[in-house]
């Protein structure tokens, strides 16, 4: 199956790639479903990744994001990130990389133009619409930092459950999916929409779809081929064309 998928990579002038947390697993970043370890195990991901959860427990949620930011500072991109960046470099203009990850590891591996559907964990923005008094650089240190004039809180620049994806980024992802001949779906459980819907859109638009995941995913039925294994070992083989 790997050989067949590799021949599709060779034949396809345009390739769209959707990555999820699994692509960073071999860097030592826990996947979303596995992220709740140690102290954080007592909270559900949804409690920590919604506006309501942040408003109810701003300090707790902020600390969780700080914990994940600190973890990212100590990890490196892995062979899967590297294979995608190398392919882009050797085949300019053929690959559009769409990610649900907020960890910045694709960019650190050298990929450019990454379409980050769920934002960037290293960025901050205001929770409420900023007033004239709100300047991020002036936010008073705290957990979370805040505006000492109006009390507005700083929040991480990620997309939480129930929030819209960045409009232009999602539009660019949809365009890439409609124009591609091959879509690779790597390391995602395929459970969170609208991101997961991109794979089905690609198939409906006539593209071949390949899922790469060591475990069953909710997008396996949308795939022409399923490659079972870890992204760090399979992706370099798949993209070495
Ligand atoms: P999940 O944590 O739901 O799923 C991770 C997937 O990676 C699973 O299907 C694993 O089998 C797979 N996996 C594990 N190790 C792997 C490896 N070495 N190589 C390849 N795959 C591996 O993460 P996502 O599907 O990315 O959204 O989650 C999607 C979204 O749900 C996240 O972006 C986040 C979350 O809620 C928001 O925060 C909005």
Residue 67 is part of a domain; what is its CATH number?
A: 3.30.1600.10
- Residues for the chain: how many in total? 241
User: Both 101 and 59 in a single domain?
Assistant: no
> Which protein residue has the closest C-alpha to ligand 1 atom 1?
32
> Which protein residue has the closest C-alpha to ligand 1 atom 21?
187
List, in order, residues 6 or more apart from 87 with CB less than 8 Å away: 94, 95, 239
> Per the domain annotation, does 33 fall within a domain?
no
User: Both 82 and 136 in a single domain?
Assistant: no
Determine the pLDDT at residue 38.
Answer: 60
Q: Which atom of ligand 1 is nearest the CA belonging to 188?
A: 25
User: Both 180 and 234 in a single domain?
Assistant: yes
Instruction: Give the distance (Å) from ligand 1 centre to CA of residue 188.
Output: 4
For residues 3-18, give the mean pLDDT: 98
User: Both 110 and 93 in a single domain?
Assistant: yes
Of 140, 158, 176, the residue that ends a domain is 158
List, in order, residues 6 or more apart from 161 with CB less than 8 Å away: 46, 49, 50
Determine the pLDDT at residue 44.
Answer: 79
User: Both 86 and 53 in a single domain?
Assistant: no
209's tokens: 């779809």
152 touches 165 (CB < 8 A): no
Looking at the structure of the chain, the number of domains it has is 2
Determine the pLDDT at residue 48.
Answer: 87
Q: Which atom of ligand 1 is nearest the CA belonging to 212?
A: 20
Alpha-carbon distance of 39 to 51, in angstroms, equals: 21
User: Both 181 and 234 in a single domain?
Assistant: yes
Instruction: Give the distance (Å) from ligand 1 centre to CA of residue 20.
Output: 5
Domain housing 171: 2-28+77-118+165-238
Residue 156 pairs with which residues in a beta bridge?
124
116 touches 169 (CB < 8 A): yes
Residue 183 pairs with which residues in a beta bridge?
16, 209
User: Both 62 and 152 in a single domain?
Assistant: yes
Q: Which atom of ligand 1 is nearest the CA belonging to 19?
A: 26
> Per the domain annotation, does 206 fall within a domain?
yes
Residue 77 pairs with which residues in a beta bridge?
none
Query: What pLDDT band is residue 223 in, cutting at 50, 70 and 90?
Result: very high
Question: Global pTM?
Answer: 0.95
Nearest to 218 by CA among 190, 195, 199: 190
User: Both 174 and 219 in a single domain?
Assistant: yes
105: left (phi over 0), alpha (psi -120 to 50) or beta: alpha
Q: Which CATH number characterizes residue 109's domain? A: 3.40.50.1220
Is 167 a residue of the active site? no
107 touches 123 (CB < 8 A): no
Determine the pLDDT at residue 45.
Answer: 72
What value does the mean pLDDT of the chain take? Answer: 95
Query: What pLDDT band is residue 32 in, cutting at 50, 70 and 90?
Result: confident
């Amino acid at each position: 199956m790997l050989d067949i998928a590799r021949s599709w990579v060779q034949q396809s002038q345009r390739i769209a790639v959707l990555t999820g947390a699994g692509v960073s697993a071999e860097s030592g970043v826990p996947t979303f479903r596995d992220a709740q370890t140690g102290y954080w195990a007592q909270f559900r991901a949804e409690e920590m990744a919604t506006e309501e959860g942040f408003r109810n427990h701003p300090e707790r949620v902020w600390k969780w994001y700080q914990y994940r930011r600190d973890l990212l500072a100590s990890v490196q991109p892995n062979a899967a990130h590297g294979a995608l960046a190398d392919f882009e470099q050797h085949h300019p203009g053929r690959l559009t990389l769409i990610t649900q990850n907020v960890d910045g590891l694709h960019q650190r591996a050298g990929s450019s133009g990454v379409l980050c559907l769920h934002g960037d964990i290293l960025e901050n923005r205001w929770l409420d619409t900023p007033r004239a008094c709100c300047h991020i650089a002036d936010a008073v240190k705290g957990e979370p930092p805040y505006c000492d004039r109006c009390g507005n809180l700083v929040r991480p620049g990620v997309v939480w459950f129930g929030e819209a994806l960045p409009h232009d980024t999602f539009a660019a992802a949809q365009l890439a999916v409609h124009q591609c001949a091959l879509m690779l779906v790597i390391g995602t459980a395929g459970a969170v929409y609208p991101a997961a819907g991109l794979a089905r859109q690609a198939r409906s638009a006539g593209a071949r779809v390949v899922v790469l995941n060591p475990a069953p995913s909710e997008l396996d039925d949308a795939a022409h081929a399923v490659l079972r294994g870890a992204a760090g070992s399979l992706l370099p083989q798949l993209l070495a064309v």
